[in-house]
Structure 1
């Protein structure tokens, strides 16, 4: 069971431009296998060492959407947090994420429309200093008025 006391929901009334939250996760072989199972994306570049070794990546890589899912985790659990509704996500995948890499997913408030409860967020993922994903999201943030 999820411990809701460790989760922070930031209501739109309390948000500020520049506010940021992040999480870090080491991507394991099990994560990749589970994501392949759930998504039904069993492309061998993710699952087969021999096949992936012959590709431009020279080895297995994680699904891009597995990396993107870490952005969803920050949005849904931290900023804004529980009660957030995703409306749009744009992203570009800039570099591969490999098994064993630690991904840092970051979300930053860019714009706030309090009348419509909308928040534009910068979204990015890094492995070390390498930017592997960047984009932006539009979400409906929770409000104390709702």
Structure 2
């Protein structure tokens, strides 16, 4: 599965990925991240929190952006360079999060793309930010204009 080449990207190009957050997602993310905050895992404790009930980890929501960039736009081969995040609202178990990314700038010399990133639930933005990805180019030609295979032997 090949990702997009830098030359295939254009300003305004976008992609979307949606996932419903499950109990299992929260438990697995907690185990992987080590974030065992009761607001994510303990219904009684979460009921007395700012949110009033259990909510997904903010970084679980943000990880959907990583999935989008790594599989759809620009896809496999892209290198995630940086990401800013602003958490705007909670995500609850059973809610469907739509992650979107839109190309806002292209830097051909560095083969980097800047993308506006958002996650929303029922049309309400719960997370937004900006990502920068680098799209590797084809391998440079060999010094003699031949591939390594043709010069062997």
Give the TM-score category using the shorter length. Answer: over 0.9
CA RMSD of aligned residues (A): 1.2
The whole-number CA distance in structure 2 between the counterparts of 1:142 and 1:74 is: 18
- Asked whether the equivalents of residues 13 and 144 of structure 1 are also in contact (C-alpha less than 8 Å), the reply is no
The whole-number CA distance in structure 2 between the counterparts of 1:70 and 1:114 is: 26
After TM superposition, give the deviation of residue 144 of structure 1 in Å: 4.1
Larger gyration radius, structure 1 or structure 2: 2
Gaps (5+ residues) in structure 2? 141-153
After TM superposition, give the deviation of residue 145 of structure 1 in Å: 5.5
Gaps (5+ residues) in structure 1? none
Flag as ranges the 4+ runs of structure 1 deviating above 2 A.
142-146
**1:24 is the counterpart of 2:41:** no
Query: TM-score w.r.t. structure 1 length?
Result: 0.92
Q: 1:96 to 1:137 in 2, by over 3 A?
A: same
The whole-number CA distance in structure 2 between the counterparts of 1:142 and 1:33 is: 35
Query: TM-score w.r.t. structure 2 length?
Result: 0.88
- Asked whether the equivalents of residues 10 and 142 of structure 1 are also in contact (C-alpha less than 8 Å), the reply is no
After TM superposition, give the deviation of residue 100 of structure 1 in Å: 0.3
The alignment covers a number of residue pairs equal to 140
Deviations 1:10-35 (A, max 9, x none): 11111000000110000000000000
After TM superposition, give the deviation of residue 143 of structure 1 in Å: 3.0
- Give the structure 1 partner of residue 94 of structure 2: 100
1:123 alignment partner, one of 117, 122, 131: 117
